Amino acid sequence: MPNQKTKIPFKGTPEQEKKLREVIEKHKDGKGSTMIILQEAQGIYGYLPEEVQLIIAESMDMSLSEVYGVVSFYSQFSLNPKGEHVVAVCMGTACYVKGAGDILERIEKKLNCKAGEVTPDGKFSVDAVRCIGACGLAPVITIGDNVHGRLEADQVDGILEQYMK
Amino acid sequence: MEFVRSHILVCAGTGCTASKSHEVFDELVKQLESNGLDKEVKVIKTGCFGLCELGPVVVVYPEGSFYSRVTPDNVKRIVEEHILKGRIVRDLLYHETVKKDNISSINETGFYKKQLRIALRNCGIINPENIDEYIAYDGYAALARALTEQKPEEIIEIVQKSGLRGRGGAGFPTGRKWEFAAKAQGEEKYVACNADEGDPGAFMDRSILEGDPHSVLEAMAIAGYCIGAENGVIYIRAEYPIAVHRLEVAIGQAKEYGFLGKGIFGTDFNFDIEIRLGAGAFVCGEETALISSVEGRRGEPRPRPPFPAVKGIFGMPTLLNNVETYANIPWILQNGWEAMAKIGTEGAKGTKVFALGGKITNTGLVEVPMGTTIRDIVEVIGGGIPGGKKFKAAQTGGPSGGCIPASHIDTPIDYETLTSIGSMMGSGGLIIMDEDNCMVDIAKYFLDFTVEESCGKCVPCRIGTRRMYQLLEKITEGNGTMEDLDTLEELCEHIKQNSLCALGGSAPNPVLSTIKHFREEYVAHVRDKKCPSGICKNLLTYKILDNCKGCTACTRVCPVNAITGKVKEVHVIDPAKCIKCNACVEKCKFNSIIKE
């Protein structure tokens, strides 16, 4: 899954930075708190661009490469901003054997957006995710907080169109 | 205590929540209020009932009526008919419980009959966000007795005698692990719980935490007392928001009641539990990688020894068990080691929870005694394969396990038997495949997963798994040679022997087991350039049969205009233009288009 440095310019606000610094201050002295801070930082910004990693590295007295090493290791940390609607296709085994691959392909084609990317208008991002545990609804996708289960490939276009308005 | 005449249990596990059980819950509350029943009937959100396929599940007690696939629109009828007038709404019940002249108990249905729920004993029965309900089912009694009446050595001996083995996959004897951690020296010690359930298709740990979080907390406190630890850590996937929330609630309540914190049950024993969220890395299920991640670093494994029992979290002795293992502990201490030692096979005692999924009628969570056969799970509990298809294989152990073919369907499940047929117990994912699943493609799917999740620290795993994937890709694209099969097997052995941790060491299992049991399928891909199951696109050609009615539906849906033909005449596909998108097959009403 491509998770390269984003091409979209950083648009962080002073309020976000203030929040981030408060989070760092709160957890700084806790043992092994890097991941906790990164998780909260992603909650504030929606992703972890270089600018945010740099603030964390400097206030934690770590090198940027150390922070980047942790960020790039875990699939939950994103270097790219997410779309307004986050489309997640479950690729767990139960969904896969019931055709999740075809569903993903349809979505990528319909949105012209590969898994791990965001559409240029920022409206959709597509992720191929690990088992979300709704195996009884396989194959299943989530769009934002909505769950669409027991899907067939030709239902995909119609579902996406509901979110395009 | 308030008196209510009926309890309505609504499943609030992840599966049912995804099919909108919270809307059913809200509607129930609303309907009861508008009928003035809210004082005499109580609605409760519970953990997983196991039968996820039929979600959202609603059960009404004292009758025990099991309503399945309930929508918010059904609620009015259930309240007005069943609750108000005492007339059970038969057509909304789970069909297997409805007999001609009576309604049978849910425990008599195929799905539940062969099950024995120990780890899941409270799931779907109690409200996981109410500690009083756990206590009412003897919760925290084992901890109280341990702290006030038993010595740590006695408890460790009970755990050892029970024969309990790790439920996370490897099956190491739990009692021995506890003994090692108890003997290790350190200024501090940790009790950690592995809830980083990464195997795609396994969700038992999540369901236990969602349905009965206190049983894990209680077991961890007991473990802390046994090994002399005051710190507990639960490492859980961030992708499990409901489980995380219920754990937070449970820890808060346990502290309030004095079951966690300082001076538990008036003794001088202190124990506290902290939650650490994972961030989506499969390798963190490996114990040394998990420890590294808890410390806030990249979750890379390190060589053992030293084992975590000696040098674990922040260099201190650490006892690390899986969620399901912990969930067994209070039960063993309450019922005695003999009760568990009675269940199961020679080498594996007690039960195992499996997440049953894939091509099976009853998708869901099942707990069976060790030694149950795969046939019983598939045919009786799972209700067989839908659509009249044939059972082809069962996959256990996820990316570390293998495929069990139909010829081994009568194998009794335990740690050793599964290993001997090239699979493994793993954490308990059990995916059923039918004749439409291509075994080479499945092996490739798991390899794709391991390539993605390999942490990159050691060469055999980082490069070896990628080479394996490339070979499989070559085969599924129709460019494989017979030598590739030999190379693949040889490579598997090297990776198995030389990888640093269990992720690499077990990564070849999906390939080795499918080559062993389904060699003819590999050969078909390589020599005949055919995919017998019709999955590998490059090896397929689409053809229209003579029973084509000429309705032209396919020509309109084809995105590349590869189909030609006149109205009411048999159509033809131009293989040079066809991109094998399958759109025509889905559209055809007469099953006239085939892939071969």
- Are domains B351-434 and B541-595 of this chain identical in fold? no
- Of the listed ranges B104-108, B165-169, B470-474, the least confidently predicted one is B104-108
Six token digits for residue B298: 């990249």
Judge whether A43 is closer than 8 Å to chain B, CB to CB: no
Q: Please indicate whether, in this complex, the C-beta atoms of B281 and A77 are within 8 angstroms of each other.
A: no
Of A75, A102, A138, the CB nearest to B280: A75
Can you name the residues that pair with B594 across neighbouring β-strands? B543
> Inter-chain contact A130–B198, Cβ cutoff 8 Å?
yes
Give the pLDDT confidence of B238-260 residue by residue, as tens digits.
Answer: 888 899 999 999 999 999 999 99
Contact assignment for A92 to B282 by CB distance below 8 Å: no
Residue pair B437/B535 in contact (Cβ under 8 Å)? The answer is yes
Closest chain A residue to B537 measured between Cα atoms? A102
Q: In angstroms, what CA-CA distances link B557 with B293, B297, B562? A: 50, 51, 10
pLDDT tens digits, one per residue of B375-386: 999 999 999 999
Closest to B331 (Cα-Cα) out of B165, B221, B219: B219
| Residues counted in chain A | 165
| DSSP strand pairing (B272-277 vs B231-236) | parallel
- Displacement of CA A59 from its chain's centroid (Å): 25
**Which residues from A are below 8 Å from B442, CB to CB?**
97
Closest C-alpha among B121, B133, B124 to residue B50? B124
Percent of chain B as helix, strand, coil, to the nearest 5: 45, 15, 40
Report pLDDT digits (tens) over B190-238: 999 999 998 888 899 999 999 999 999 999 999 999 999 999 999 999 8
B48 near B206, Cβ under 8 Å?
no
**% pLDDT > 70, chain B:** 100
Split at pLDDT 50, 70, 90, the class of A4 is: low
Q: For residue A73, which residues of chain B lie inside 8 Å, CB to CB?
A: 281, 298-300, 455
Helix ranges (H only) for B127-240 are 131-136, 141-149, 152-162, 174-183, 204-211, 213-227
According to the model, what pLDDT value does residue A19 have?
96
pLDDT digits (tens, 9 = 90+) for B331-360: 999 999 999 999 999 999 999 999 999 999
Q: What residue has token string 């002795």?
A: B317
- CA dist B381 and B96 (Å) reads 12
Nearest CA in chain B to A146: B18
**Residue A3, pLDDT score:** 56
The predicted pLDDT at position A133 comes to: 77
Nearest CA in chain B to A132: B239
Taking only the tens place, the pLDDT of each residue in B381-416 is 999 999 999 999 999 999 999 999 999 999 999 999
The Cα–Cα gap between B483 and B196 comes to 39
B131-339: in CATH 3.90.1330.10: no
Kindly report the nearest CA distance between residue B393 and chain A, in angstroms: 12
Chain A residues near residue B358 by CB distance under 8 angstroms: 93-94, 97-98, 138
For residue B557, count CB atoms less than 10 angstroms from its CB and return exposed for 0-12, middle for 13-18, buried for 19 or more.
Answer: middle
SS3 A65: helix
Does residue B541 sit in helix, strand or coil?
coil
Chain B contact for A83 (CB, 8 A cutoff): no
| CA-to-CA separations, B64 to B9, B60, B94, B97, in angstroms, rounded | 10, 5, 12, 10
Q: Which chain B residue lies closest to A71 (C-alpha atoms)?
A: B298
| Position A6 pLDDT exceeds 80 | no
CB contact A112 to B (< 8 Å): no
B188, B203, B192, B207: which is closest to B289 by C-alpha? B192
Nearest Cα to Cα of residue A160 among A99, A116, A119: A119
CA-based nearest residue to A118, from A67, A52, A70, A46: A46
Of A33, A75, A138, the CB nearest to B357: A138
Q: For domain B541-595, give its CATH number from 3.40.50.10800, 3.10.105.10, 1.10.10.410, 3.30.70.20.
A: 3.30.70.20
Give residue A2's pLDDT. Answer: 46
Report CA dihedral (A96, A97, A98, A101) to the nearest 10 degrees.
40
Q: Is A77 on the interface with B (CB under 8 A)?
A: yes
Count CB atoms within 10 A of the CB of residue B193.
Answer: 28
Gap between the Cα atoms of A64 and A53, Å rounded: 7
Quick: pLDDT tens for B524-571: 999 999 999 989 989 998 999 999 999 999 999 888 899 999 999 999
Contacts of B177 (CB under 8 A, 6+ apart): B166, B309, B319, B321
Closest in A98, A136, A138 to B55, CB measured: A136
pTM of the model: 0.92
pLDDT value at A146 more than 90: no
Question: At B166, is the secondary structure helix, strand, or coil?
Answer: coil
Q: Are B394 and B514 in contact (CB under 8 A)?
A: no
CA separation, residue A140 to residues A62, A125, A133, B281, B438 (Å): 40, 16, 10, 21, 21
When CB atoms are compared, the residue of B19, B281, B583 closest to A73 is B281
How many CA atoms lie within 13 Å of B399's alpha carbon, on the beta-carbon side?
A: 29
pLDDT at position A1:
40
Quickly state the pLDDT bin for B515 (edges 50, 70, 90): very high
In the predicted structure, residue B70 carries a pLDDT above the cut 60: yes
Each domain of chain B, given as residue ranges in start order, spans 6-108, 131-339, 351-434, 439-526, 541-595
Q: What is the pLDDT of residues B254-279, one digit of tens each?
A: 999 999 999 999 999 999 999 999 99
Two tokens, residue B586? 């889905």
Q: How many Å apart are CA B192 and CA B50, to the nearest integer?
A: 26
DSSP string, B360-393: -SS-EEEEEETT-BHHIIIIIIS---GGGPPEEE
Going across the sheet that includes A85-90, the strands are: A124-129, A85-90, A141-143, A146-148
pLDDT over 90 at B453, yes or no: yes
**CB neighbours of B117 closer than 8 A, spacing ≥ 6?**
B123, B351, B367
Cβ B347 vs Cβ B413: under 8 Å: no
pLDDT in tens, B35-55: 999 999 999 999 999 998 898
Across the interface, whether the CB atoms of A136 and B363 are under 8 A apart is answered yes
**B4-27 residue pLDDT tens:** 999 999 999 988 998 899 999 999
Q: Which fold has domain B439-526?
A: de novo design (two linked rop proteins) (1.20.1440)
- The answer to whether domain B351-434 has CATH 3.10.20.600 is yes
Q: Best interface-test mutation with A: which of B53, B242, B297 has the largest number of A CBs within 10 A?
A: B297
End-to-end CA distance of chain A: 28
| DSSP sequence for B437-490 | S-HHHHHHHHHHHHHHH--SSSHHHHHHHHHHHHHHHHHHTT---HHHHHHHHH
Is residue A130 less than 8 Å (CB to CB) from chain B?
Answer: yes
Task: Answer whether B238's CB lies under 8 Å from B277's CB.
Answer: yes
If you count DSSP H runs as helices and E runs as strands, how many of each does chain A have, helices first? 7, 4
Nearest in space to B427 (alpha carbons), one of B567, B321, B302, B546 = B321
pLDDT, position B307? 95
B203–chain A Cβ distance below 8 A for any pair: yes
**Domain B6-108 is found in CATH 3.40.50.2000:** no
Q: What is the mean pLDDT of residues B307-332?
A: 97
Instruction: Find chain B residues with C-beta within 8 A of A68's C-beta.
Output: none
Q: Read off the amino acid at residue B117.
A: R
Q: Which of A143, A139, A66 is nearest to A111 (CA)?
A: A143
The per-residue pLDDT for B587 is 87
B595: pLDDT confidence band, cut at 50, 70 and 90?
A: confident
Residue B239 has a pLDDT of 84
ipTM of the complex: 0.88
Contact A130 B296 (CB under 8 A): no
pLDDT tens readout for residues A14-23: 999 999 999 9
Pairing of strands B190-195, B318-322: parallel
Counting one residue from chain A and one from chain B, the pairs whose CB atoms sit within 8 A come to 138
Q: Is B198 touching A (CB cutoff 8 A)?
A: yes
